[in-house]
Amino acid sequence: MRPGQPSLRPEHLVDEPANSDRFIGGLSESIGGPLGTHAVRTSVRLPGGGRFWTPARVVLLLICAMLSFHWVQKSPCRDAAWADMKQYKYFCYTDVLALYYAEGLSDGQVPYKDHPVEYPVLTGAFMGVLGLPVHDLKERGVVQNDGQTFYDVNAVVLGAFGIVAVAATLAVRRRRPWDAALLAVAPALFVSATVNWDLFTVGLTAVAMAYWAKRKPVLAGVFLGLATAAKFYPMLIIGALLVLSLRTGKWKDFFVAVGTGVVTWGVVNAPVAYFFYDSWIKFWSFNQERGIDWGTLWYIGAHFPRGSGQYGFPFFGNLETDPQHSTLNTLYLGLFLICCAGILILGLTAPRTPRLAQLAFLIVAAFLITGKVWSQQYVLWLIPLAVLARPRWGAFLAWQIAEVLYFVSFYGELMGASGRQVFPEGVFVLASLLRLITLAILVGYVIRDIRRPEEDVVRSTYEGQDPDAGVYNEELPEEEEGLAPPPPALARAG
């Protein structure tokens, strides 16, 4: 501690959502209002004087509980006996179990070597590392239901990466630990956590961003390369770094992180690409050949109800029937690039340098809104970025509710596509539209915060700085050593 500086516990710097967020503050009134000074002083404390139930511990408990509830929600489908559309009626379908059989893991086939996989290399390796030992245990008679065992093992490991994502969010939000609670209790996480292997990538990406915030570009690049080797979307974060480098003129850490990421991605991909090229290229060709997928902007255009039993607009219908999808690919890529150009202009002309998470969220959101594929689990890509970009509960929960409504209607649509009509096509289209609109509103709020930085709650907590920016930011106060005075905005309510 420096001479003359007051000793401040980190808890005195912590933002209280009931005091700073109008939505949470309003809810807290039903149970007596925000937590006061007396309640804090009389809470359970450790022998050293610290509180036992710190915000970080509460948030980590919340994510563990949420992942446990998710496992219960998926339990009806764990036995792989999906008769009578059980996987749709109970909303418990998961690619993890379906692809254990479809990708040959149940027969002991090695991904890429014996069977092409439609995912990037690291996800395929993840599937194989967990799937092949389960197959071996079945052959030895150790397990009877290998599909159920495979799902359970995946649920545990993917859940660990979900916890890592929350921990990484806590690491870069020491003054705002309750922001991570948005991720921990996100309704869309409850329904989508193990629909696919996306939590694996989400965890790696969160660690990469945490290392960047700590000014460790080599480690940030390694984890960004690993994340991109598992799914494509983490590469989009490089666009946010590029905008900030153009804005600030700071390039050294950018090139170090990107270079390290490219090398890491190459090391992971090169052996598979060299020895099993036809299997390796499947991911790229598969995505090029895909048409309009469920729930996208293009799907809405092709199926929007026009009255008198008519659906869709003629132009979008032509896109859906094009066997080569060349026009669709050109349009969605062009529209995405236009959005990226807009984000670049926004980043360069904003009154203050935008925060990294704000730009990353806008780019990934634009990719999903304009894309031809918007799978239900892709919401997991956005949740951590949305939490870092704009940790406000109201708009966030409205978007999450729309995502859950889409999730439920999607399974009804799948039942209809399987021959059992549940509701008219228009219901699913409207649910898709609601998801798109609520996300677009959230995007609008983030853009507003960039144009009017005084509205940004993260900046107000960190005295105008960006805790995620790494080298793009000035040094943050050393609050962990008690060297910084508490921001006026964080004065405790009595």
pLDDT reported for residue 294: 94
pLDDT reported for residue 25: 52
**Owner of token pair 């990466």:** 161
Contact 437, 403 (CB under 8 A): no
Which helix (H) or strand (E) segment holds residue 305: the answer is strand 305-307
Contact 118, 282 (CB under 8 A): yes
pLDDT reported for residue 307: 67
Contact 201, 230 (CB under 8 A): yes
Distances (CA, A) of 373 to 107, 152, 251, 296: 30, 28, 33, 6
Sign of dihedral through CA atoms 364, 365, 369, 370?
negative
DSSP H helical segments within 29-82, as ranges? 37-41, 55-74
Cβ neighbours around 448 below 10 Å, total: 12
Greatest distance between any 2 Cα atoms in the chain: 79
Distances (CA, A) of 372 to 328, 364, 403: 8, 14, 18
Per DSSP, the three-state class of 45 is strand
Whole-angstrom Cα distance, residue 76 to residue 82?
A: 9
Nearest in space to 217 (alpha carbons), one of 437, 4, 470, 414: 470
Whole-angstrom Cα distance, residue 231 to residue 212?
A: 19
pLDDT reported for residue 305: 80
The DSSP string of 311-372 is ES-HHHHHHHH-SS-HHHHHHHHHHHHHHHHHHHHHHHHSSSPPPHHHHHHHHHHHHHHH-S
Nearest in space to 92 (alpha carbons), one of 364, 399, 407, 398: 407
pLDDT reported for residue 319: 80
Nearest in space to 169 (alpha carbons), one of 258, 56, 247: 56
Whole-angstrom Cα distance, residue 302 to residue 279?
A: 32
**Owner of token pair 């009877």:** 144
pLDDT reported for residue 473: 83
Contact 354, 343 (CB under 8 A): no
Give the CA dihedral 332, 321, 374, 396, nearest 10 degrees.
80
DSSP H helical segments within 90-186, as ranges? 95-102, 121-139, 146-171, 179-184
pLDDT reported for residue 50: 59
The residues that bridge with 45 in the sheet, in sequence order, are: 51
Write out the chain's pLDDT in tens, 494 residues: 444 443 334 444 566 665 555 666 555 444 444 555 544 444 445 555 457 789 999 999 999 999 999 999 999 999 878 988 999 999 999 999 999 999 999 999 999 999 899 899 999 999 999 999 999 999 999 999 999 999 999 999 999 999 999 999 999 999 999 999 999 999 999 999 999 999 999 999 999 999 999 999 999 999 999 999 999 999 999 999 999 999 999 999 999 999 999 999 999 999 999 999 999 999 988 888 888 999 999 999 988 887 666 677 777 767 877 777 888 999 999 999 999 999 999 999 999 999 999 999 999 999 999 999 999 999 999 999 999 999 999 999 999 999 999 999 999 999 998 888 888 888 999 999 999 999 999 999 999 999 999 999 999 999 889 999 999 986 555 444 333 444 444 433 32
Whole-angstrom Cα distance, residue 78 to residue 363?
A: 35
Cβ neighbours around 47 below 10 Å, total: 5
Which helix (H) or strand (E) segment holds residue 277: the answer is helix 277-280
What are the residue ranges spanned by the domains of the chain? Answer: 10-490
Whole-angstrom Cα distance, residue 90 to residue 75?
A: 10
Whole-angstrom Cα distance, residue 185 to residue 61?
A: 10
